[in-house]
Chains A and B, each alone.
Chain A
């Protein structure tokens, strides 16, 4: 009898897993934000990697340096680290894109069923 109870609760749990835990509006919102986040962070990652001067102000630099060599090293390092940060954030957005896209698809399915 114990096994029967366990089986029933498992089925309920699995059915819940395929159910939508976000509503229609939330999943659409997160989907759009993820798409834009992915797009923007990919482009920013590429720009940081190719060391565009426009992003010079966004680097984590200190105010004063002793010589030019140290400063240039810091600049190159700052660019690389920011580039990787952007690309990692883009990967996180891929995950949210996947989750919200799946939720959105589930919500679409339930609205078509009458």
Chain B
């Protein structure tokens, strides 16, 4: 078995597959997940490959499944995800799946179109109902118009008061025709204006708004409409009015003149509406049932189709061997997994019952792919390193060192116990609830980033708690665990007369001559020169850590040079790098340590803090 220290040794192999067993063998290798196939037909167009028809069929199935999924999501039905991993079905089962999906899709489409037709019908009947209700008012006003003088009355066709001897021409003049309909509320002003202009003010429009919004069957959104009725005289105006109504896409309804007829029609409409309601709800129920039964299996179907498609996609990369009626494939496999691949091939050929597949190792000068064997813990760190650049083949893998150095360097920058506890608890919760959280499968990208890095976050939190204790920082306040080494030994009059006082480390009364046991002394948080001290101290520590880290990286390259048998590199690359690093930066580190050790309070003036040389000036002056 390989380790994380180096990438795995890879072997280029040639695979001879019989035509019958090719599908099952590729399926088994796919489940294994340890083989990388090379494309042996790179110049061939996607539409000229051997299995293009099967891939096309898989695309069709995928499209149908996506349509089903969209409908399921539209209805808000929860999709059951049992986490099962179904194996790729055999090619002959593909036809079964195709038929099943076709049936489901057709059924759904039929149900949807029926529902739409029913909704349209429902809409018309609702509009008619509203018309019949509202036009009652209009007709009452038309029958007894408020502005008509006393002696003149409006005559209708079957009015018994028509005198047989009366002038019928007058009667015809009095005959008013009408058109009733429904129009979108927004269009009413333009409609009115158009009618007025086109008919020269000779038509009379009454309109009333409908209170409830109606559902537009095509878009499904709620729109507000108004009922209108237009009174006119004569056929010319009637044609004109009808044309204008059609232009404004107002739906016209036949409304009977007599009130008795209208009442009858209203009754009829009401019963028809009730019937339609029942039919509509039954249609919706049927659709819901179909979708619920589909939702139970849709994940498994999706996975099966994906697997079939990927198998045929892989088969497209193979070469056809006409002589022995087989397929030739080239692939990279890790040498350590040779036996596993052989086993998988044997399983595949057993399933299809044909001659066994042959696995040949080839030798090549090409650079093999880099494969690191990771588990769920090291995977996150490996991804982190790969984002800077994938290591070359068989080079030392930086990832195992990153497991410690990355969280530690983060913690040096973070350095707070309280916030470190919160971070560690968050990481710990994600690690503890790993299985249920990973089964959730959300689309939320930010959550996926956090969850993928849960081990990194946990380690960063733990290391931050440690550096927080060293910096003596708990939510930006220091805690006094061991008793401070500094004491303010001034008398009251000095304290009262001075705004600021300095504590001298040389004075035994003010400084205990031994430091705080672990971390920074808590007295520093009350001092005014806290920043001066902290900045210089933390900067020097960061420089020391950085240079140690860089030195470590350079020293690791020795193992790489020895492994690749390039002794020349040790003399020409490694030695000059070390000389450069040491003479400049290790010298700087030594200067820092020397200044810390040699110069201090108490003792000779030449070693007192006032005589301590500046490291930067010394370094530049050399």
Chain A residues engaging chain B, CB cutoff 8 angstroms: 53-57, 67-68
Residues of B453-500 whose CB lies within 8 A of A = 477-479, 492, 495-496
B525 proximity list for chain A (CB < 8 A): 54
B492 touches A68 (CB 8 A): yes
Q: Which residues of A sit under 8 angstroms from B477, Cβ to Cβ?
A: 54-55
Interface secondary structure of B, over-half rule: helix
Closest Cβ neighbor of A43 among chain B residues: B475
Contacts of A68 in B (CB 8 A): 492, 495-496
Q: Is the CB of A53 within 8 A of B496?
A: no
Evaluate contact between B496 and A67: CB separation under 8 angstroms.
yes
The answer to whether A54 touches B492 (Cβ under 8 A) is no
Residue of A nearest to B484 (CB): A53
Complex Cα distance, B437 from A28, in Å, reads: 18
| CB-defined contacts of A67 to chain B, threshold 8 Å | 496
Would you give the shortest CB distance from B423 to chain A, in whole angstroms?
A: 14
| B509-548 near A? 1/0 per residue, CB < 8 Å | 0000000000000100110000000000000000000000
CA distance A68 to B525 in the complex (A): 22
Say whether A53 contacts B526, CB under 8 Å.
Answer: yes
Q: Is the CB of B496 within 8 A of A56?
A: no
B contact residues, total (Cβ < 8 Å): 9
Alpha-carbon separation in the docked complex, A14 to B576 (Å): 83
Which chain B residues numbered 7 to 46 have a C-beta less than 8 Å away from chain A? Answer: none
Other than A54-B479, A54-B522, give 4 A-B pairs with Cβ distance below 8 A.
A53-B526, A54-B477, A54-B525, A67-B496
What B residues does A57 contact at CB under 8 A? 526
**In the complex, what's the smallest C-beta–C-beta distance from B78 to chain A, in angstroms?**
8
- Return chain A residues, CB-CB under 8 Å to B495: 68
Could you tell me the distance between the alpha carbons of A68 and B498 in the complex, rounded to whole angstroms?
A: 12
A56 and B492: CB pair below 8 A? no
Contacting residues, chain A, for B496 (C-beta < 8 A) = 67-68
The chain A residue with its CB closest to the CB of B525 is: A54
Q: Which residues of B, 75-90, contact A by the 8 Å Cβ criterion?
A: none
CA distance A56 to B527 in the complex (A): 12
List of B residues within 8 angstroms of A56 by Cβ: 526
> How far, in whole Å, are A9 and B495 apart by their CA atoms in the complex?
73
Closest chain A residue to B476 by CB distance? Answer: A54
In the assembled complex, 13 residue pairs joining A and B whose CB atoms fall closer than 8 Å, in A order, are A53-B526, A54-B477, A54-B478, A54-B479, A54-B522, A54-B525, A55-B477, A56-B526, A57-B526, A67-B496, A68-B492, A68-B495, A68-B496
Closest to A66 in B: B496
Contacts of B522 in A (CB 8 A): 54
A59 to B525, CA, bound (A): 15
Minimal beta-carbon separation of A68 from chain B (angstroms): 6
Return A101 CB to nearest CB of chain B, in Å.
Answer: 19
B contact residues around A53 at 8 Å (CB): 526
Of B477, B478, B495, B525, which is in contact with the most chain A CB atoms at under 10 Å from its CB? B477
Closest to B422 in A: A36
Query: What's the nearest-Cβ distance from chain B to residue A52, in Å?
Result: 8
What is the chain A residue whose CB lies nearest that of B477? Answer: A54
Q: Which residue of chain B has its CB nearest to the CB of A56?
A: B526
**Cα-based distance from A52 to B119 in the complex (angstroms):** 74
Interchain CA distance A55-B477 in the complex, whole Å: 8
- Of all chain A residues, the one with the shortest Cβ separation from B474 is A54
Would you give the shortest CB distance from A98 to chain B, in whole angstroms? 24
Give A55 to B475 CA distance when docked, in angstroms. 12
Question: When chains A and B are docked, how far (Å) is the Cα of A67 from the Cα of B496?
Answer: 7
Closest 7 CB pairs of A and B: A54-B477, A68-B496, A54-B478, A68-B492, A54-B525, A53-B526, A56-B526
